[in-house]
Each structure stands twice: as C-alpha cells, then as structure tokens.
Structure 1
Amino acid sequence: MGENAEHTRVPSPEDITQAEKYKEEANKFFKHQNYDAAISLYTKAIELNPTIAIYYGNRSFAYLKTECFGYALIDATKSLELDRNYVKGYYRRAAANMPLGKFKLALKDYETVMKARPKDKDAKLKFTECNKIVKILAFEKAIAVEENKKTIADSVKLEAMTIADEYTGPKLEDDKVTLKFMQDLIQWYKNENKLHQKYAFKILLDIKVLFMSQPSLIDITVPDNEKFTICGDIHGQFYDLLNIFELNGLPSNTNPYLFNGDFVDRGSFSVECIFTLFGFKLLYPKYFFMSRGNHESATMNHMYGFEGEVKAKYSAKMADLFTEVYNWLPLAHCINEKILVMHGGLFSRDDVTLKEIREIDRNRQPPDEGLMCELLWSDPQPQKGRAPSKRGVGIQFGPDVTKNFLKLNNLDYIVRSHEVKKDGYELVHNGKCVTVFSAPNYCDTIGNLGAFITLTGNNMRPTFTMYEAVPHPNVRPMAYANSLLKYMYQ
C-alpha cells in the first residue's frame, strides 16, 4: 500500500527532484480519473521523499475516489503529522471519516478547516452539513431510547391509504404478489412510473415478516442438473437488473436466484430495484434469495442516496421502515453444503464455523467489528495472512485464511461481491474465492462489465456470463445522495 515503504534516510537532491516529477505525473492521471495509476505514482514520490505532506494528501484524495477510506484516513493523518497547517489534510481526513459513519470526528476536522479559512464558503457548507447530520443522529438516538420497543412496521396503517381511481399501475391481488403483478410492475417501472404507496408499504410489511422467520445463514439445495444463478451488487441500476432477467430469464420456481447484497445506493433507480427484488422474494420465497450488503444500512443509505430517493419518491417514514427491514436480511447462504456466499468476506479469526454464522443476532445496524461486520465488509488480498482493510472497516484476508476456513467447514469455495471488477468477476486464492459484481459501467463512469454466475446442482463449478451496461433514463447516479458526499471529494 505504500505506507510502510518510507525510507528513514534523508532524500538526496535527485530524489527530491524525481519525487516532484512523479507527483506532477500522478496529478495528470488523477485529472483524467485514472486513480490507480495516480496512487502508484504518488507512492513512488513518497518512497523517494517521505517528508512532504502534499504527497500523502494527494494520495489520500485518490484513495477517496477509489473508496479506500481506510487508506485515505491513514494518509490524511500522516500528512497532518508532517504539517499541522496543511488544511487539505483536515479536509481529506473528514472526507474519509464521513462514509465510515464517524461524523463527530469529521465535524472536528471541518471545524479546524473553518477556523483556518473563515471566509471559505465550501468549508462552511461542509461544516454545516456535517453538523446537521450529527444533530439528527443525536436526536434519533434520543427518540429511539424513548420509544424503545415500538417499530415503524407497527405504526403503518394500510387501511388509511386510499387508492384513487386514476391509478392505473400494478395492483396486488388479494393483498398478494402474483406473477402478473411482477410483470406489470417491471413494465410500469420501465415507463418511469411509481408503485402506489399502499402496495409499496404492504410489500415492505410482508417481506419483513418473511425475513424475520429466517436464520442468519440460509441453506439452499440445488438439485442435480438444475440451474442456480448468483448475482452481485446491483446498486440501484434498475435497467441493468432488467437486462440480467433478459439474458437469464425471470426468476421462477425453476429459475432460482441469489442476489448478494448492495441492491441500493449510488444508482438513482434504487427504489425500483428493491421493490422488484422484494416482490420476487415474496412470489418465490423458496427459490429467490437475498443477502445483506454493507449498503443495506442506515449510514450508507443516508450518505449514498437511497434514503434521499425514498423520501423523494415516498416518505421519511418509508425510509425508516426500509432500515427496519434491512436489519432482518440474512447475512449468508450455503449452497449444497459446498459453497458459502456472503457480500464481503472472511474473518479476523481462524475458528469461525457455519454454526456460529447461523447463530449471529443480526437484527441491528452493522457493527464496526466482529463476524457480522466482516461478512459485510471484508475483502481478499493476494498475500498471506490478514491486514487492516483499505476501506477502514472489516479486514483483508489472504489465500491461507480462505484455505483454512474452507477446510474447517468442509466447503469447496466462497462467493462474494462488494468490489467492482473489470470483467464483472474475479477468481483469486487458487480459484477458491470468487468475486461477482453485477452493476456494469458502475456509476456511469467506471466502464466495467457486469457478470452473474450460473451453476448446476451436480456441477458446482461457476460459469460466468458477462454483459455491458444498457441505456437508462437521464437521471445521473448519486442524484439523491447527501449533498455533503457530492461536494466533499472536491
């Protein structure tokens, strides 16, 4: 990563000159959004001259752009150790803490920036927005303590919601999701219409009851010669979700699916994605599966757009109900006792069993550490052992960690998602750790392919189908994201 590559020797004049050249070259790559190349060059500059705060500050910014918030945090902190007056260091550190949900720490740094630049409008905006979040969270915490056991679901009064005659959209039949309803819903959404709030609330209430009845780890049996499909992150890219169904068929009793977390956020059609997926889960509860991702959480939804989208299309109450529902999403799935599927990855200790995963008490917001956190946040690394996460949450685990986990639990391999891959998928750890990512041209900028996995009950080897992004209506990604998140990387 570069942090450990610093030299203790004093840089020579040649080193100093070359480091500056690397920085200038890196800045050009950064400008053209080639952040990985920029990071590599900033790292070279740091190796030659580790005494310059701006090198760390710039690399921190590039890490922010690639969502390596853990690395960004380390670099921003290092830049401030080298130069306490380096104002951009405080900016970067605050920007790294925000998506990690560490709003109070971010606020402290924005306050420092404000004091250093009292006339800076941008600094004032960021401080004000961050302060607002801190106050809202404190208020919500106080309310939650007061209300204690009451749930949002209990307070929803469906009978009070009337459906006007002019509503011509999809309708539940006898309060149930049917195949016709799902087909109508997909067409309705394609035409950029909104499902009536009464039906939307009904789906959420029903899906909550269904998820509550399930364990944290679900066992799936795929019979011989029958197909099973695993999809990775969708991230609100509704038209790409429909393309998966075009390529692979609609979900059914004979065409089962598992969607492996991060259904929402970033893409601005997250509401359409989640109601489509929840609808299929209700229609085919034993043949359609959903795992929780790290973005099925209140903090992520607040920052990355889902909360804003639900409020814009429906209401704050529905946004709160989604949070309640997400708390009950299963955390992992085990297929034919041979493949474990989770959103993030493996663990900070070697003795974790499937039984222990099955017994996780999941009805809560994802914690900052422990099994639940690591299932949602961890990533593989090429080198052996474990390392702190580039994201600042979860861990990074090596091929030996994967091998030991599989051996202990008598599994063949793991499937996870959570990371953009150029081809939509990647095999690492001698093929024992498979990543699948199903949102092509992520955020309309990355240019990656999407992919999904198919396998059969008697041939558990993964087959990959890759596809390009399809056109979508002119609503840009992150359209509903928290304004602070939109501005803080500037």
Structure 2
Amino acid sequence: MLNLVVFFLEENKTKAEETKEAANKLFQAMKYEAAIDKYSEAIKLNPTVAAYYANRSFAYFKTEAFGFAVADADSAIKLDPSYTKGYYRRAAANMGLCKFEDARRDFRIVVKRSPGDKDVKSKLTECEKIVKRIAFEKAIEVDSPKNLAETFDVTTITVESSYDGPKLEDGKITKEFIEEMMERFKNQKKIHKKHAFQIILAVRKIMLETPSLVDITIPQDSKLTVCGDVHGQYYDFINIFKINGVPSETNMYLFNGDFVDRGSFSLEVILTLFAYKWLYPKSLYLTRGNHETDDMNKVYGFEGEVKAKFSEEMFELFSETFSTLPLAHLINQKILVVHGGLFSRDDVTLDDIRNIDRFGKKQLEHGSLMCELLWSDPQAQPGRGPSKRGVGIQFGPDVTESFLKRNNLDLLIRSHEVKENGYVIEHNGKCITVFSAPNYCDTIGNKGAIINITSDLKLDYKTFEAVPHPNIRPMAYASQFGGLFT
C-alpha cells in the first residue's frame, strides 16, 4: 500500500513538471490566462514547489492581477524562504499596487542575496527615490493647499513667432485647430505650451461644474460611442475616429477612463480628448479611470512623459484636472457606465454616486465608493470576492442583477480589463466590458472594441486590430520600472 502511495506521489510530481513546462510555453506565447490555468493544474498536482507559485505570480502580474500575484509570491516564500525569485515577484507586484515601501523591503532582500545583479540594484534605487519623494511631498503638504490652476496666468506665456503649429485665436477652440493639432501629434510634434495649458484649464473649468454622475440623453438623430481604455496608444486612438467618425454634435463619444499611462503617447491622447471636450462639451464625455491618479501616473509613465515633453508644472495641472473628472455616466436613464465596477455594499443607489465628493482627490481612499467604482471587476461566481488586483472587489452576477434592479437600470457597461476580442458580455448579458487599446502594451495581441449606442438603446459592437506606431516602446517614460510592466 505504501509503495502504491509513493508511486502516485511520484507520478503526480512528474505530471506537475510536465504541466509546468506546458504553462511556461503558454506564457512565452503571451497566453497569460491559459498559462495561469496550467500553473494552477501543476500546483494542484504538487502544491509543494515554490517555483510553480512564483511562475503563476508572474502570469498574474502580466494580467495586472497584482493582488493575486502578491498572494502567490507569499506562498512561494512560505514554502521556501530562501527562494529569491519569490521576493522579486512580490516586490514587482507591490510596485504595481503602488505599495512602494513593501516593494523596497523585498528589493533590498533580493539585492542582498544577489549583489551582482545590476538590474535589481537599479530598481531598488528607483524605488528608494519614490519612497523618499512621497515622504517629502507629505512633509511639505499644508492643510488647505492652493491649486496651481487658481494662480496660473496663461496670458503671461508668449507664443514665439518661430512657432509653426496651430494657434488658438482669441483663446477659443475650433475644429480646425484640433485637426491640425492631431496631424502634428501624428508626426511626433508638439503644440505650443501656451495652447496646451489653455486646453487643460478650459476642461478643468467645465469639469468643476459637472456632477459626479452625468446624465446623457442620446438624441434621435445621433449615436453615442462608448470607448474603453486607450492607455496612451495615440495611433490606435485616432484609428477609432478613422473607422467610426470624428466627434461631432451627432457623433457623440464617451471615453470610459484610463486615457493615460502604459502607452508612450499619453500626452497626445489626453490633449486631443480635452480639446474635443472643450469644443463639444455636450457630445464628448470623459469618465475618470483608476489611472487618472497621481500614484498610477508616477509608476506607469504619464508623469515622466509630461515632464519630458513639457514641464512638472503641466503635470500638476493635469493632476488637478483629473481630480475633477466625473465618476459615472447614465445613458437614457437605463445604462450605467463606470470605469471599474460595483460595490462591497448592497444598498448603493444612483444618488449615492451623485453625492460623492470627488473634487481634489488625487489619490483614492481604499474601500470608498469612489475607489470601488474605479477599481472593481466582475467575477463568474455569485457573491463578492477579494480583488485580484488588491484594490476594490470582485462582484458576481447576482450583485449586478440586484444593483440594476434596485436602481431601475437595464445594463452596466465598464472597462478596466483587457479582453481578447476587445469586449465581453457577462452576468447574463447585464455586464459588458469594453477595452479599446488593441495589442495592449505591444505584447498582448488583443483586439480593441467600441460600442455604438442609438437613441433606442440598441448596441452595436465594432472590433479592430492595432495599427503601426513609431518605434517608441510602451512605458518609455517610466524610468527603471518600465521593464517590470512591459
């Protein structure tokens, strides 16, 4: 009997190794979800191997499930405290969660064990800089900080005669200005800083007068296109307009958060969106995403990009403007559109969303309604579960059904997650995810998608492939951490 048990244990170990190798091949082919399933099979066959958890941690990391990635790294370290890669995986995942002090602690362990690894040393150095910078910023905070926007005088900036780009005449936006600006961006040129500042300040003024939950009514002769994350992929972003038409009073758009970060043309994306918002305030709508926050922008590239292309002052104005963006949109009283998802509470109403005080919140308070709106994800199982990201929650089909019924709604549309075909319909057709950044980060190979909605609330899905872009890698402005996330 003992020999039989030993035989089965050894057979399971062999199968686990074969399964792990199959998972590795899927990972190398960038089929991360499939790789996660295979690593899970290997762990089930032999739950005593630290490397299996560390490998699955890396696959979770690639799908931005940073919460699960940390948990797997914890398991690897618990099984083998001497397994250095477990600490590295946990440090990387905590960077993804913007838990910089936790990441620093693990990077220090890895450096101590591998003193000759220059890559890890550079990541520790960069992490140390972020921790010190955050501590310094907290130390100089005052109780009632004055917004830069309130003291900034754009009229003092002179447009040089040598500037050959589009100009805002009399401080007013025009369709012609935007078209010329977009073409200039396409050719990797900038607009004058004065006009960039004018665009940002104009949109901030609009948003200060905008409620947290925006009501949208689609006129009979119009359509509204809902777009998911575009993440700084400017050339894919303008391709949406090529295949679906540019924004106009009848060709309405709702961009559902995560305009910036990851892609290295985030500045071009956000200035184009802001310019169209200024031109068509009742036809182009913008929802705040979880990447329209300071902590994300410090890690994922937008802050570095704005500073490299313009200035720290401009990033501060963007930051102040992001904290004025609305959190949700209600289409024809029946379709709720949010970036992330639903809540840890059962009793949330539309009025609760309307009453969220979002202004000035450059960071999100974990557990708040605002945080859950921007971070939560759907799950297949009923009920609620811990977030795979480590922030927000996961909510099941019954949670969606109950929320929609309580608020007399038909449908929830959200974004926040890359999908192979650009969109997915879940929760008995009541929850739709749309993601509009094809071949996300130049690595995933997914399609992008948009949803066209008519006045009678009929939905039409369009999918599209990525288009070529200049040879600038994603996260090019994210310093040493770019290599972690691409």
TM-score, length-scaled by structure 1 = 0.94
What's the secondary structure of 2:281's corresponding residue?
coil
CA contact (8 A) 1:256 1:287 kept: yes
Q: 1:403 is matched with which residue?
A: 401
Q: 2:169 is matched with which residue?
A: 173
* 1:99-114 → structure 2 map (5 Å cutoff): 99-114=96-111
Q: 2:196 is matched with which residue?
A: 200
Q: 2:422 is matched with which residue?
A: 424
CA contact (8 A) 1:304 1:482 kept: no
- Tell me the distance in 2 between the aligned counterparts of 1:154 and 1:489: 36
- Provide Cα deviations, 1:147-181, integer angstroms capped at 9, x if missing partner: x3211213423233111111111111211111121
1:270 aligns with one of 266, 270, 277 = 266
Aligned partner letter, 2:46: N
Q: 1:118 is matched with which residue?
A: 115
Q: 1:309 is matched with which residue?
A: 305
- The CA deviation at 1:195 is 0.9
2:24 matched to 1:27? yes
* 1:248-287 → structure 2 map (5 Å cutoff): 248-287=244-283
Aligned partner letter, 1:400: D
2:325 matched to 1:358? no
CA contact (8 A) 1:221 1:335 kept: yes
- The CA deviation at 1:115 is 2.4
Q: 1:79 is matched with which residue?
A: 76
Aligned partner letter, 2:352: E
What's the secondary structure of 1:144's corresponding residue?
coil
- Provide Cα deviations, 1:278-312, integer angstroms capped at 9, x if missing partner: 00101111111000011111111111111111011
Range 115-124 or range 320-329, more displaced = 115-124
- Tell me the distance in 2 between the aligned counterparts of 1:395 and 1:11: 39
CA contact (8 A) 1:347 1:375 kept: yes
1:52 aligns with one of 49, 53, 56 = 49
Q: 2:412 is matched with which residue?
A: 414
Q: 1:368 is matched with which residue?
A: 366
2:440 matched to 1:442? yes
- The CA deviation at 1:11 is 7.5
CA contact (8 A) 2:438 2:446 kept: yes
Unaligned runs of 5+ in 2: 1-5
* 1:82-231 → structure 2 map (5 Å cutoff): 82-145=79-142, 148-231=144-227
- The CA deviation at 1:445 is 2.0
- Tell me the distance in 2 between the aligned counterparts of 1:194 and 1:83: 52
Provide runs of 4+ in structure 1 moved above 3 Å. Answer: none
Q: 1:381 is matched with which residue?
A: 379
CA contact (8 A) 1:227 1:256 kept: yes
- Tell me the distance in 1 between the aligned counterparts of 2:120 and 2:441: 26
- Tell me the distance in 1 between the aligned counterparts of 2:36 and 2:54: 11
CA contact (8 A) 2:175 2:279 kept: yes
Q: 2:326 is matched with which residue?
A: 330
Q: 1:6 is matched with which residue?
A: none
- Inter-CA distance 226–10: structure 2 relative to 1 (3 Å threshold): farther
- Provide Cα deviations, 1:86-118, integer angstroms capped at 9, x if missing partner: 111111111111111110111111122222233
- Provide Cα deviations, 1:97-152, integer angstroms capped at 9, x if missing partner: 11111101111111222222333323322221111100011111122237x32112
- The CA deviation at 1:10 is 12
- Provide Cα deviations, 1:31-63, integer angstroms capped at 9, x if missing partner: 333322322221111111111111111111111
What's the secondary structure of 2:274's corresponding residue?
helix
Range 15-24 or range 403-412, more displaced = 15-24
- Tell me the distance in 2 between the aligned counterparts of 1:315 and 1:393: 31
- Tell me the distance in 1 between the aligned counterparts of 2:15 and 2:243: 51
What's the secondary structure of 1:119's corresponding residue?
coil
What's the secondary structure of 2:236's corresponding residue?
helix
CA contact (8 A) 2:30 2:444 kept: no
- Tell me the distance in 1 between the aligned counterparts of 2:464 and 2:177: 27
- Tell me the distance in 2 between the aligned counterparts of 1:441 and 1:31: 16
CA contact (8 A) 2:64 2:389 kept: yes
Aligned length in residues: 479
Unaligned runs of 5+ in 1: 1-8
1:473 aligns with one of 466, 470, 483 = 470
Aligned partner letter, 1:21: E
- Tell me the distance in 2 between the aligned counterparts of 1:160 and 1:181: 21
CA contact (8 A) 1:302 1:482 kept: no
- Inter-CA distance 61–319: structure 2 relative to 1 (3 Å threshold): same
CA contact (8 A) 2:337 2:412 kept: yes
CA contact (8 A) 1:11 1:48 kept: no
Q: 1:3 is matched with which residue?
A: none
- Tell me the distance in 1 between the aligned counterparts of 2:196 and 2:260: 16
- Tell me the distance in 1 between the aligned counterparts of 2:176 and 2:343: 43
- The CA deviation at 1:367 is 2.1
What's the secondary structure of 1:96's corresponding residue?
helix
CA contact (8 A) 1:61 1:489 kept: no
Aligned partner letter, 1:227: K
Aligned partner letter, 2:18: K
Aligned partner letter, 1:420: V
- Tell me the distance in 1 between the aligned counterparts of 2:206 and 2:255: 16
- Provide Cα deviations, 1:57-93, integer angstroms capped at 9, x if missing partner: 1111111122110110100011111111111111111
Aligned partner letter, 1:422: E
- Tell me the distance in 2 between the aligned counterparts of 1:15 and 1:255: 59
Q: 1:5 is matched with which residue?
A: none
Q: 1:390 is matched with which residue?
A: 388
Aligned partner letter, 1:22: T
2:345 aligns with one of 338, 346, 349 = 349
- Inter-CA distance 187–485: structure 2 relative to 1 (3 Å threshold): closer
Aligned partner letter, 1:390: K
Aligned partner letter, 1:332: A
- The CA deviation at 1:225 is 4.7
What's the secondary structure of 2:260's corresponding residue?
coil
- Inter-CA distance 197–489: structure 2 relative to 1 (3 Å threshold): closer
- Tell me the distance in 2 between the aligned counterparts of 1:112 and 1:432: 46
Range 288-297 or range 465-474, more displaced = 465-474
